[in-house]
Amino acid sequence: MPKPKPDSLTPHQRWERDVRRAALAAALIAARERQGLTRAQLAERARIDRTMLYRVETGKTSLSVDLLWDVCRALHLAPSELLAAAEADDAAAQTLSDD
Check residue 91 and give its pLDDT: 92
d(CA 85, CA 24): 8
> What is the DSSP secondary structure assignment for residue 11, as one 8-state letter?
H
Mean pLDDT of the chain: 92
The predicted model scores a pTM of: 0.87
**Cβ–Cβ < 8 Å for 59, 14:** no
Check residue 98 and give its pLDDT: 75
Check residue 6 and give its pLDDT: 57
d(CA 84, CA 6): 26
Per-residue pLDDT of 35-60, as tens digits, reads: 999 999 999 999 999 999 999 999 99
CATH homologous superfamily of 13-89: lambda repressor-like DNA-binding domains (1.10.260.40)
Per-residue pLDDT of 6-38, as tens digits, reads: 578 999 999 999 999 999 999 999 999 999 999
> What is the DSSP secondary structure assignment for residue 4, as one 8-state letter?
P
Handedness of CA 17, 86, 80, 25 (dihedral sign): positive
Residue of 80, 89, 86 whose CA lies nearest to 25:
86
d(CA 91, CA 76): 26
**Cβ–Cβ < 8 Å for 70, 46:** yes
